Amino acid sequence: MLRFTLNRLLGAIPTLLILIAVAFFLIRMAPGGPFDSERQLPPEIEANLRAAYNLDAPLHQQFLRYLADLARGDFGPSFQYRDFTVTELIASGFPVSLRLGGLALLLALVLGVTAGTLAAMRQNRAPDYAVMAVSMTGISVPNFVMAPLLVLVFAVLLGWLPAGGLGDGGWRHLLLPVICLALPQVAYIARLTRGSMIEVLRSHFIRTARAQGLAMHTIVLRHALKPALLPVVSFLGPAAAGLITGSVVIEQIFGLPGLGRYFVQGALNRDYTLVMGVVVFYGALIILFNFLVDLLYGWLDPRVKA
């Protein structure tokens, strides 16, 4: 197990370096710069600003300097939010995105696995068709369409829930964005669970358990669920990172002060360090969650460690 873990860790390092390099050079290829504005700055002031932020050095030197700062855990200062560092901005936005994404992931897992299992146990019957129809709807309808519809129904017409904002952070302000963020993942997890569960239920060891007279719910919970969750576990790595870092669309629609807001503002303002900080943070989360998924997958199926 130790060798398996070390191999996964060593493989993550070049992946993160490639991500940093690609993001660093791509953001600088975009038109405009961090000090462009409607009011043109005098050339000498702009030159001083570029020198202060080390933007006057050759590009390869900027990249090496950024890697050195990153190795010390320094994402650098923000070009637009002058009183804040990128680390402070990420620290202020990430808790909101973490809470939103964590709740959405939990909801998606509970509903998706339950719906997929029920559909597999009632294959080619009404419950199966209903779950698959709802899943296709969840996949097909984007969340920027679903979110305004839910706001229109539950906030405007019925008045049950607030239309946006974080408020006091209570469940009433989080319910609609969590549902919108979780719906596509519920659909994917339900379809993955259904297909995997059907295959497992046709296995020889399940037939043996049935022949011994075990109840169906006992067979599913004790014998079939663990191997059936392998595809779901593989899906959870990027899904968890994407949900926890927050959906840009959902945060914008509901006016939530999460990480996505800073990413959008940083991209519009050519705030190189802010965009890089969010990209590196997001990439590190994806690598971390995939690493954890590999470990969990190895525990569920020891054959992957061979």
Per the CB < 8 A criterion, the answer to whether 278 and 266 are in contact is yes
Residue 37 phi, psi dihedral angles, 5° rounding: -155, 175
Cα separations in angstroms, 289 against 55, 93, 120, 285: 34, 20, 28, 6
Q: How far apart are CA 52 and CA 18, in angstroms?
A: 27
Output the pLDDT for position 38.
Answer: 47
Sites in the chain below the pLDDT cut of 50 = 38
Beta carbons within 10 angstroms of residue 68's beta carbon: 10
Output the pLDDT for position 40.
Answer: 60
3-class SS at 85?
strand
For residue range 194-246, what is the model confidence (pLDDT) as tens digits?
888 888 877 777 777 777 777 777 777 776 777 777 778 778 777 776 677 65
DSSP H helices in 245-271? 248-254, 259-268
Output the pLDDT for position 163.
Answer: 80
So what's the architecture of 86-305 in CATH? Answer: Orthogonal Bundle (1.10)
Q: How far apart are CA 102 and CA 246, in angstroms?
A: 9
